[in-house]
Amino acid sequence: MRPALAVPPIYAPIPPAVHPNHAEIDARTAAWADAFNIGTPEWRSRLVTQDIGVFAARILPEGQEEVVSLLSDFVIWLFGVDDGYCEEGNLGDKPGELAAALNRLLRIAQNPEAPMLTDDPLAEGLRDLTLRVSRCGTALQAGRWVDTLREYFFAVVWEAEHRATGRVPGLNDYALMRLYDGATSVVQPFLEMGYGFELQSHERDSKAVRAASEMCSFITTWDNDIYSHHKESRGTNYYLNVIRVLEHEYVLSPDQALIRAIAQRDRVMCLFLSLRAKLDDEGSPQMRQYLSNLASFIRATQDWSVSSLRYTTPDDPAALSSHFSDQPTDYSSDPLDIPSISWWWDLVPASRTAPLQQPRAPRRPRRAPQ
């Protein structure tokens, strides 16, 4: 068994926040998982102690409570898919069978009235989630949510292929697929829904906003890999974690790989703050709110990861610092040597890539017409 890596305080320039009704949201999500019979009773009893509702409440700290509860239920559903099908389930190393199962679920998200999988708890839970997404979001947001679900399903099939063959992916491929297999892009439509606005299409589809969204995914998934390394490295099929990937890519020790992973996420964090400042100057109030919500998502992942029993694993304690740093370990303005994401640095002038001391306060947009 690998020795526990001591994770130091990680750079966190974004202020923490949480929805005031986080305890009620967490309790409702536990009841929702029970009502739809998501996972086994033992699995549910374990997961409902992991503050899923608090995580959603940190992502949308000032969001509409109905949407925060919807996001919380969706997150526990995602863990049902991830733990039950992908990582710990019997389809986690069978990419063909996993693809078929996930495509059936995708059909439910596209058409919840489809007469299929009527005795499948995950499908029934997804039916409920789909109807609520349609009620809380615009037609465009509901459609984007289904599209991001497809991206996530496609990426976890890629993961299954690596488990089946026992291969560690290369860093470039891993960075690209981690934008999707970490289930971060499927959360991003809720960043609009939760505050009752819709980004204008010319802003959402712009290269710069897409880059900001991808940077959020990169930072949150690198953080997830760092904080979950202890838990994952004690399981079987340990191939898909940035620490493992960097060890393999550069012939590093686990401690050296951890230092490099932290440096990579710090460099992207500095770039995200600079790009956010640039877009704040240029964009609409809706864009500024969206960028603020991306920042909340990043900080939510950090706060939840250092406190949730999912990662602190008290039965076999992980060596995670409960504090954060106010300084990055790497604030270079040079692109990371990862071709699939290095284009992000082209979007921010070099004069603006110095780390910012404080993120800007968000401006609340008006609710978009439904």
Averages of pLDDT over each 10 residues, the chain, 370 residues? 81 98 97 93 86 96 98 96 71 90 96 95 97 97 97 94 93 97 96 96 93 98 92 72 96 96 98 96 94 98 89 76 93 95 89 46 40
Q: What is the largest CA-CA distance in the chain?
A: 58
pTM of the model: 0.92
321 with 9: CB under 8 angstroms? yes
In angstroms, the Cα distances linking 115 to 2, 105, 123, 142, 289 are: 47, 12, 11, 21, 39
pLDDT at 317: 75
**Spatial separation of the C-alpha atoms in residues 125 and 32, rounded to whole Å:** 9
pLDDT at 201: 87
